[in-house]
Structure 1
Amino acid sequence: MNATKRERIFARLKAHNPNPTTELNWTTPFELLAAVLLSAQATDVGVNKATARLFPVANTPRAIIDLGIDGLKAHIKTIGLYNTKAENLMKTCQILDQRYHGDIPRTREALEALPGVGRKTANVILNTAFGELTMAVDTHIFRVSNRTRLAPGKNVVEVENKLMRHVPRAYLKDAHHWLILHGRYTCLARKPRCGSCVIEDLCEYPDKIDIA
C-alpha cells in the first residue's frame, strides 16, 4: 500500500467521524487508566456499567485504597477476571499514591511499571489522556492493519511500528480510535461488512464480502 492510498483512507475515516474517541467513560486521567485496566477481555459497555458504580464512590487512587480490596471487588464484580483486576488496580493505586502523589505518570516506562498496565494500555493513556502521538494496537487494529494491508505485521509491536511510520502525521493523534472503531463495527473478524465500508475501494483485502 502506498502513501497516497493511506492518506485517502484516513481522510475518509476522518470525514466519516471527525472527532473519534474511546467508548470508555472517563473524566480524569486516573479514571481512564482504571477503565482501561479493567477493560482487558471485557466489553466497553460492561466496563462502563461497573465504573458508573465505582467512580461516584472512588475515582482517585487514595479513594480506592480507602475503599479496600473487598469494597473494590464488590463494585467491579460484573467484569470478567474481576479478582485479578481488582488486585492490580489496588496495587497500581498504592504506587500512584505513594510515588506520584496520586497523579498519573506521563512516560511509557513509568506507566508500564504499574501492575496490570502493558504497552497497549500505556499507549491509550498517553494518547487519549495526554494527546501524545501513540498507537495502541489491540485485536481490532491488528486485524484491520493486516486485512487492509495498511500496516501488515506478524505481531502487535510490528504493526504498531509500521503504523507509526506510515500513518500521515496529520491523522496520527486520532488514528488508533478510527481503526479500533472501524474494526469493531465494520471490519468484523468473521464477516467484514465490506458493503458498507467507507474505504472498501482503497482496501487491499482480496476476499471482500458484499455485506452491508
Structure 2
Amino acid sequence: MNAAKRREIFERLKVHIPEPTTELNWATPFELLTAVLLSAQATDVGVNKATAKLFPVANTPQAIIDLGLEGLKTYIKTIGLYNTKAENLMKTCHLLVEKHQSEVPKTRAALEALPGVGRKTANVILNTAFGQPTIAVDTHIFRVSNRTGLAPGKDVLEVEKKLLRYVPSEFKQDAHHWLILHGRYTCIARKPRCGSCVIEDLCEYRDKVEL
C-alpha cells in the first residue's frame, strides 16, 4: 500500500468519525487507567457498568485502597478475571500513592512498571489521557492493519511500529481510535461489512464480501 492510499484512508475515516474516542467512560487519568486495566478480555459495555458503580464510591488510588481487596471485588465481580484484575489494580494504587503522589505517570517506563500495565495499556493512557501520538494495537487494530494492507505485521509490536511510520503525522493522535472503531463495527472479525465500508475501494483485502 502506498502513502497516498494510506492518507486517503485516514482522510475518509476522519470524515466518517470526526471526533473518535474510547468507548470506556472516564473523567480523570486514574479513571481511564482503572477502566483499561479492567477491560482486558472484557467488553467496554461490561466495564462501564462496573465503573458506573465503582467510581462514585472510589475514583482515586487512596479510595480504592480504602475499599480493601474484597471490597473492590464486589464492584468488579461481573468482569472476567476480576480476581486478578482486582489484585493488580490494588497493587497499582499502592505504587501510585507511594511513588507518584497518587498521580498517573506520563511516561511509558513508569506506566509499564505498574502491575497489569503492558505496552498496549500504556499506549492507551499516553494517547487518550495525555494527548501523545501513540497507537495501542489491540485485536481490532491488528486485524484491520493486516487485512487492509495498511500496516501488515506478524505481531502487535511490528504492526505498531509500522503504523507509527506510515500514518501521516496529522492523523496519529486519532489513528488508534479510528482503527479500533472501524474494526469493531465495520471490519469485523468473522464477516467484514465490506459493502458499507467507507474505505472499501482502498482496502487490499482479497476476499471482500458484499454486505
TM-score w.r.t. structure 2 length? 1.00
The CA distance in 2 between the partners of 1:50 and 1:112, in whole Å, is 24
2:191 equivalent in structure 1: 191
Residue 33 (1) aligns with residue 33 (2)? yes
State the SS of the aligned residue for 1:204: coil
Gaps of 5+ in 2: none
Read off the aligned partner of 1:137 and give its amino acid letter. V
Residue 130 (1) aligns with residue 130 (2)? yes
Q: Which structure 2 residues correspond to residues 21-170 of structure 1 after superposition, within 5 A?
A: 21-170=21-170
TM-score w.r.t. structure 1 length? 0.99
2:20 equivalent in structure 1: 20
Q: Equivalent pairs: percent with the same residue?
A: 78
Aligned residues: 211
**After TM superposition, where is structure 1 displaced by more than 3 Å over at least 4 residues in a row?**
none
The CA distance in 2 between the partners of 1:75 and 1:163, in whole Å, is 37
How far did residue 187 of structure 1 move? 0.2
Read off the aligned partner of 1:86 and give its amino acid letter. A
1:11 equivalent in structure 2: 11
The CA distance in 1 between the partners of 2:28 and 2:188, in whole Å, is 31
Deviations 1:124-170 (A, max 9, x none): 00000000010100000000000000000000000000000000001
How far did residue 174 of structure 1 move? 0.1
Gaps of 5+ in 1: none
Deviations 1:87-115 (A, max 9, x none): 00000000001111100111101100100
- Aligned-residue RMSD, C-alpha: 0.3
Read off the aligned partner of 1:150 and give its amino acid letter. L
The CA distance in 1 between the partners of 2:98 and 2:72, in whole Å, is 19
How far did residue 183 of structure 1 move? 0.3
